Amino acid sequence: MHPVAPVTLSPWAPGLLSFALFVAIVLGLLALLLFLTGWLGERRPDPEKARPYECGVIPTGGARFRYPVPFYLVAVFFLIFDVEAAFIFAWAVAMDDLGWRGWLQISFFIIVLLLSLFYIWKKGGLDWSPTPVPRRVSPKT
């Protein structure tokens, strides 16, 4: 007779089972606590409680503020040049392994970014001062 080989589960099975049990217990306790606080808690509606908390300052006016376009341009330029710096630093770390081919590729990358920066500069994308509005001259009668 051949001995019957014992059924072995994956080495991950005991860990996954205990993790699933832990998650189920946490979610159950969370649901129970949320239910109890909603059921047992006092409800006293008050306009003061409904007002948004602004660090002790009574809010006035609307919450919407129109940011000027240069604010967004600075954010976009920061992202572009931040990503550019990350690529250049990564290239600098691997410079010895990449050789001349890597140098040519990073040079092409920097040249394309500089050309795009000069294009934006020429089109006026970096002029953030307010443009003067021409004044209408009323005809003399």
56-96 pLDDT, tens digit per residue, is 777 677 767 777 777 777 788 888 888 888 999 999 999 99
Task: Select the more confidently predicted residue: 27 or 78.
Answer: 27
- d(Cα 8, Cα 46) in Å, to the nearest integer? 62
User: CA dist 118 to 12, 39, 132, Å?
Assistant: 57, 64, 24
- d(Cα 43, Cα 63) in Å, to the nearest integer? 27
pTM of the model as a whole: 0.44
CATH code at 69-123: 1.20.58.1610
| Residue matched to tokens 């081919």 | 101
- d(Cα 45, Cα 34) in Å, to the nearest integer? 19
Q: Where are the domains of the chain?
A: 69-123
Kindly report the number of other CB atoms within 10 A of residue 36's CB atom.
10
Residue (of 113, 60, 47, 105) closest to 85 by Cα position = 113
What pLDDT sits at residue 138? 66
| Residue matched to tokens 């014992």 | 6
Pair 110, 80: CB distance under 8 Å: no
Average pLDDT over residues 20-29: 96
